[in-house]
């Protein structure tokens, strides 16, 4: 699972390219919400906030309380091997999800030097 808070801003083509280059795994993108930018197929992505007021409430619950049993079951059905988050805030945001899925969390950090 590739976790990004926002799926996926136009400046993050490198994330889509990394996922496309995977040979042993089929990436599945998970995030809090979609943003204008790189389009990801519905079959290979899922966001907590599906739109509207109800979607925003689902996102807030996920952020502050954690994923629901239904959300964990839905994602567990995809048989993830790990959660791969980009950047520190996303790693922090994905901690509860990885723990509830029972898989490791790997976070990529960018060095700006």
Nearest to 80 by CA among 105, 110, 59, 107: 105
**34 neighbors 7 (Cβ within 8 angstroms):** yes
**pLDDT tens-digit readout, 21-65:** 988 888 999 999 999 999 998 899 999 999 999 999 999 999 999
Residue 92 token pair: 């922090």
Q: How far apart are CA 55 and CA 58, in angstroms?
A: 5
Per the CB < 8 A criterion, the answer to whether 83 and 104 are in contact is yes
- pLDDT single digits (tens) 63-108: 999 999 999 999 999 999 999 999 999 999 999 999 999 999 999 9
């Amino acid at each position: 699972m590739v976790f990004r808070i926002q799926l996926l801003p136009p400046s993050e083509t490198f994330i889509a390219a990394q996922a496309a280059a995977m040979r042993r795994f089929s990436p599945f993108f998970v995030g809090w919400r979609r943003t204008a930018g790189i389009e990801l197929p519905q079959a290979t992505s899922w966001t907590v906030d599906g739109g509207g007021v109800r979607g925003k409430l689902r996102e807030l619950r996920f952020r502050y309380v954690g994923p629901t049993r239904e959300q964990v079951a839905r994602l567990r059905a995809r048989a993830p091997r790990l959660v791969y988050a980009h950047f520190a805030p996303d790693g922090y945001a994905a901690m509860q999800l990885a723990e509830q899925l029972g898989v490791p969390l790997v976070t990529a950090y960018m060095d700006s030097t």
